[in-house]
């Protein structure tokens, strides 16, 4: 593959040097050889430039790009379920055969809980050090946000038929449970399961190849996604008083991704250059930040932990879905910051220490139940926290409604970083990671 890249790059260079026209095939080949994060960044940059030139306040235009953006996000999710189902089944079987399934599951849960607690602590210490600026109360009324619905989600875990797990395109946990039982069942009767495992392994590899195609093509769709994101940002910016709040969220994302996680990876795993993992996280973070959707980001994460970081498939096929389902530290930290902004906006009395502890614990606890909300989960959690806090703040989250998309973007970016770094920690500790040179990263 490396030889073909060098050969075709030289061919295009010579063609350009001789002023020969490049064909559509040449442009497509150049695009296929580019790093994924470069494709995504180029699409986002083009989208933002295009949105900057478009007229402001055109409702029809906004609705058109909202529709296209939703279509692109659905397109990015399209190939996820087959990969999850077949890979999770094979992964559970292989880990059980090697007697490392329990170790992998417990390790993933420990990393998920630890990352969520640490990120929540970062958000808590942050607002203690610096009090966010107040936001004028310009929205009144009753909220209409979705409820977390923990009991309803528990019912969905075991539907009347196991095949109903394929019907919900947002909630992936029932599918993982079904695949886990299949993998465990195959380990019980290995002789009878051998033909099925061979078939599932083949399906897993073919589905993964299809998923790779969708991950590459989504880079073009990121143009529309970033256009709609820019429209939302421009609308939020027009209010003129969310600047301080946005800066605080970005500082939290930067600190967690650039300082905290690399430092923890260095201390826990002894990796000399933890920023290699951060480099491998660029495409997932870009996809997560501008789409705000964890299910769309999941295929991008799977590709990078496998092909860039060299994590073995039996680990990534289990740990990455677990992080996507249970690990929402981004929601915890953004909700803590957002709720403090709401309290400061309604009252100048500050927040008591007991309320700080309550906010810290509730944000962590309920962040584990956001898997039915691949997008918008952070804002749903914020509404739930306001409702549980009471004292006249039940609809307090409404003052942040123009910035809801940005809250969810920051949360999704932290969640993507956590999934990549957390999977790297687990694979490194279990000896199932092959180091690769940065130049071979996709």
161 CB-side CA count, 13 A: 5
What is the C-alpha separation between 58 and 309, in angstroms, rounded?
A: 44
The number of beta carbons lying within 10 Å of the beta carbon of residue 39 is 21
d(CA 263, CA 345): 35
> Backbone phi, then psi, for 429, in 5-degree steps?
-70, -30
The Cβ of residue 131 has, within 10 Å, a number of other Cβ atoms equal to: 12
DSSP-assigned beta bridge partners for residue 192: none
Helix axes 101-129, 80-97, angle to 10 degrees: 120
- Would you state the pLDDT for residue 6? 46
Tens of pLDDT along the chain (442 residues) come to: 444 444 444 544 455 555 555 564 554 554 556 889 999 999 999 999 998 888 877 788 889 999 999 999 999 999 899 999 999 999 999 998 888 888 988 999 999 999 999 999 999 998 888 888 888 876 655 556 667 778 888 888 888 888 888 887 788 999 999 999 999 888 888 888 888 999 999 999 999 999 999 999 999 999 999 999 999 999 898 888 888 899 999 999 999 999 999 999 999 888 888 899 999 999 999 999 999 999 999 999 999 999 999 899 889 999 999 999 998 999 999 999 999 999 888 877 678 888 889 999 999 999 999 988 998 889 999 999 988 887 777 888 888 899 999 999 999 999 999 999 999 999 998 888 888 888 888 8
Three-class secondary structure assignment of 197-252:
HHHHHHHHHHHHHHHHHHHHHHHHHHHHHHHHHHHHHHHHHCCCCCHHHHHHHHHH
Contact 383, 397 (CB under 8 A): yes
Taken as a whole, the chain contains a residue count of 442
For position 230, what pLDDT does the model report? 94
Closest to 178 (Cα-Cα) out of 77, 86, 297? 86
Which two structure tokens, joined as six digits, stand for 345?
């906006």
CA distances from 293 to 53, 316, 370 (A): 26, 19, 12
Residue 126 to residues 118, 120, 343, 433: CA-CA distances in angstroms?
Answer: 12, 10, 15, 34
Using alpha carbons, select from 388, 213, 426 the residue that is nearest to residue 305: 426
- Give the list of residues 6+ apart from residue 228 with CB closer than 8 angstroms, or none: 62, 65, 66, 68, 69
User: Would you call 17 helix, strand, or coil by DSSP?
Assistant: helix
Whether the Cβ atoms of residue 305 and residue 322 lie closer than 8 Å to each other: no
State the pLDDT at residue 15.
Answer: 53
Q: Map tokens 């096929």 to a residue.
A: 317
- The rounded distance, in Å, linking the Cα atoms of 302 and 78 is 14
Cα-to-chain-centroid distance, residue 78: 16
Contact (Cβ atoms closer than 8 angstroms) between residue 402 and residue 235: yes
pLDDT at site 389: 87
The per-residue pLDDT for 21 is: 57
Paired with 375 in beta bridges are 293
> What are the contacts of 4-9 at 24+ separation with CB within 8 A?
5/33, 8/33, 9/33
Tokens 């490396």, located at residue: 2
Cα–Cα dist 408/420, whole Å: 18
Query: Are the beta carbons of 394 and 145 closer than 8 angstroms?
Result: no
**Of 403, 353, 386, 381, nearest in space to 135 by CA:** 403
d(C-alpha 187, C-alpha 205), whole Å: 20
- Spatial distance between the Cα atoms of 352 and 380, rounded to a whole number of angstroms: 24
């Amino acid at each position: 593959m490396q030889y073909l890249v060098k050969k075709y790059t030289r061919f295009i260079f010579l063609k350009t040097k001789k002023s020969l026209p490049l064909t559509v095939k040449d442009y497509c080949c150049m695009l296929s050889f580019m790093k994924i994060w470069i494709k995504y960044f180029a699409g986002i940059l083009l989208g933002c430039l295009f949105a900057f030139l478009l007229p402001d306040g055109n409702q029809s235009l906004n609705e058109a790009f909202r529709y296209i953006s939703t279509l692109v996000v659905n397109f990015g999710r399209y190939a996820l379920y087959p990969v999850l189902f077949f890979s999770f089944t094979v992964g559970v079987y292989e880990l059980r055969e090697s007697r490392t399934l329990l170790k992998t599951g417990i390790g993933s849960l420990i990393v998920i809980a630890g990352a969520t607690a640490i990120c929540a602590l970062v958000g808590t210490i942050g607002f203690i050090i610096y009090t966010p600026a107040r936001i004028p109360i310009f929205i009144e009324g009753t909220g209409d946000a979705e409820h977390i619905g923990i009991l309803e989600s528990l019912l969905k875990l075991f539907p009347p038929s196991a095949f109903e797990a394929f019907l919900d395109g947002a909630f992936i946990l029932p599918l993982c449970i079904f695949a886990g039982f299949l993998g465990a069942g195959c380990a019980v009767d290995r002789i009878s399961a051998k033909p099925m495992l061979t078939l599932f392994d083949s399906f897993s590899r073919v589905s993964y190849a299809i998923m790779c195609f969708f991950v590459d093509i989504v880079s073009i769709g990121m143009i529309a996604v970033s256009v709609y994101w820019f429209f939302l940002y421009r609308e939020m910016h027009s209010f003129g008083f969310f600047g301080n709040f946005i800066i605080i969220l970005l500082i939290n994302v930067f600190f967690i991704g650039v300082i905290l996680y690399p430092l923890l990876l260095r201390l826990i795993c002894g990796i000399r250059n933890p920023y290699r993992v951060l480099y491998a996280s660029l495409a997932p973070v870009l996809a997560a930040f501008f789409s705000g959707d964890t299910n769309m980001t999941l295929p991008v994460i799977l590709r990078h932990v496998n092909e860039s970081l060299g994590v073995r498939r039996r680990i990534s096929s289990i740990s990455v879905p677990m992080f996507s389902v249970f690990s929402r530290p981004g929601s915890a930290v953004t909700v803590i910051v957002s709720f403090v902004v709401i309290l400061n906006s309604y009252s100048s009395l500050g927040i008591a220490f007991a309320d700080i502890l309550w906010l810290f614990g509730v944000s962590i606890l309920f962040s584990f139940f956001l898997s039915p909300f691949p997008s918008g989960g952070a804002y749903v959690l914020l509404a739930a926290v306001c409702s549980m806090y009471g004292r006249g703040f039940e609809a307090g989250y409404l003052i942040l409604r123009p910035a809801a998309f940005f809250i969810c973007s920051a949360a999704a970016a932290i969640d993507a970083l956590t999934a990549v770094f957390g999977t790297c920690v687990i694979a490194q500790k279990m000896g199932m990671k092959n180091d690769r040179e940065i130049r071979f990263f996709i």
